[in-house]
Amino acid sequence: MYIKNRQNSNKSRILARIKIILNRKFLASKLPTFNILNVVCKLKKNELKENMRKISIMLLTILLCISCGKVEQKHEKLNSDKMMIRISEIEIEPEFLEEYLLILKEESKASVELEPGVISIFPMFQKDKPTEIRILEIYSDRKAYESHLETPHFKHYKTTTLKMVKSLKLVDMNTIDGESMPMIFKKIK
């Protein structure tokens, strides 16, 4: 008697776990739940025992279809109209170049890693003029940019490099093809 009760209890637990997993999958993919779950849960114990193999196969098939099938999931579309894009044109005093580059690398890495609204802080320099720095800055929106200006790593960058900068020009930009931007960043590995 104890063994039978324990087996039924185990089956009930397994069934409950499968139901939870399926519900999570359906909620994640925004699909309606199948009626089969309700049918399975309403079966009497003896019916459940008799049909357990069939039910298990059906549930596993459903799970397989969900996990392997191409379920269309809606991703938040990139809104290039809201984004703030800027190219910073910076000329560095030659005697400070090495120190400046170390501080800039630290700041750009921290910005992208720590700030969800910072899409890109991509520093580069002109090949024939290494003191001519360009930074491609992309923020999800104006609020993300303003938040970036208040971070400790940006404030550290700004205060420690002030004497190193010979000139600074900030050029605000607009996208021509905002739809291809996610593909560009996706290709980088």
Give per-residue pLDDT as tens, 16-53.
Answer: 666 665 555 444 444 444 455 555 555 555 666 666 66
Judge if 95 and 54 occupy the same domain.
no
Judge if 26 and 61 occupy the same domain.
yes
Judge if 183 and 121 occupy the same domain.
yes
Among the three residues 41, 68, 95, which one is the final residue of a domain in this structure?
A: 68
* More confidently predicted of 71 and 175: 175
Q: What is the pLDDT of residue 181?
A: 78
Strands 84-92 and 132-139: antiparallel
Within a domain: residue 61?
A: yes
Judge if 95 and 181 occupy the same domain.
yes
Judge if 48 and 135 occupy the same domain.
no
pLDDT over 90, % of the chain: 49
Judge if 59 and 150 occupy the same domain.
no
Strands 165-173 and 132-139: unpaired
Q: Is a pLDDT exceeding 90 seen at residue 57?
A: no
User: CB 108: neighbour CB atoms within 10 A?
Assistant: 20
Taking the CA atoms of residue 124, residue 130, residue 133 and residue 138 in that order, the dihedral angle to the nearest 10 degrees is 0
Within a domain: residue 77?
A: no
Q: What is the pLDDT of residue 81?
A: 76
Instruction: Identify whether the C-beta of residue 122 lies closer than 8 Å to the C-beta of residue 109.
Output: no
Distance CA 118, CA 121 (A): 7
The boundaries of the domain holding residue 60 are 2-68
Q: How many domains are contained in the chain? A: 2
Q: What angle do CA 142, 145, 149 make, to 5 degrees?
A: 140
**73-101 per-position pLDDT tens digit:** 333 455 677 899 999 999 999 999 999 99
Judge if 20 and 106 occupy the same domain.
no
Instruction: Identify whether the C-beta of residue 174 lies closer than 8 Å to the C-beta of residue 85.
Output: yes
Judge if 50 and 124 occupy the same domain.
no
Q: What is the pLDDT of residue 30?
A: 43
Judge if 30 and 95 occupy the same domain.
no
Distance CA 70, CA 90 (A): 47
